[in-house]
Amino acid sequence: MSDLSTSLISSLSGISNALSAASKPSESSSDTSFANILSSAISTAENTNTDSNAATLNLLTGKTDDLSSTLITTQKAAIALDLTVAIRNKAVDAYKEIMNMQV
């Protein structure tokens, strides 16, 4: 069970690395902008989804018999997608709140 938790956490390490880099002060703000962090999160989710699709295809075509690793990769992709959707929802909510502010 700890291997599963460790692998799920490590699959999202790109996002946490981007967030930790954003919290550290740096000279160039373009490296730690929200757009770069969001782009990094989306690319991590896309890569995880691609890995999941490849593992599923390998299982279905008989190239591998390892069902557990296929299920783990599929769960990683689901978690990455859930995180991406949650970030998008929070960004939309923040935009709506800003647009409703009276000046």
> Can you give the pLDDT at residue 27?
47
pTM: 0.63
> Can you give the pLDDT at residue 20?
56
* Residue 15: Cβ within 10 Å count: 21
Which strand (E) or helix (H) includes residue 103?
A: none
3-state secondary structure of 87: helix
Which strand (E) or helix (H) includes residue 11?
A: helix 2-11
> Can you give the pLDDT at residue 3?
55
> Can you give the pLDDT at residue 74?
95
Q: What does the alpha-carbon distance between residue 42 and residue 39 come to, in Å, rounded to a whole number?
A: 5
How distant is the alpha carbon of residue 7 from its chain centre?
A: 13
Q: What does the alpha-carbon distance between residue 14 and residue 21 come to, in Å, rounded to a whole number?
A: 11
Domain-wise residue ranges, the chain? 2-99
* 39: its two tokens: 């782009």
Mean pLDDT, 10 residues at a time, the chain of 103 residues: 52 54 51 81 92 95 92 94 91 94 86
> Can you give the pLDDT at residue 55?
95
> Can you give the pLDDT at residue 8?
47
33: which DSSP letter? -
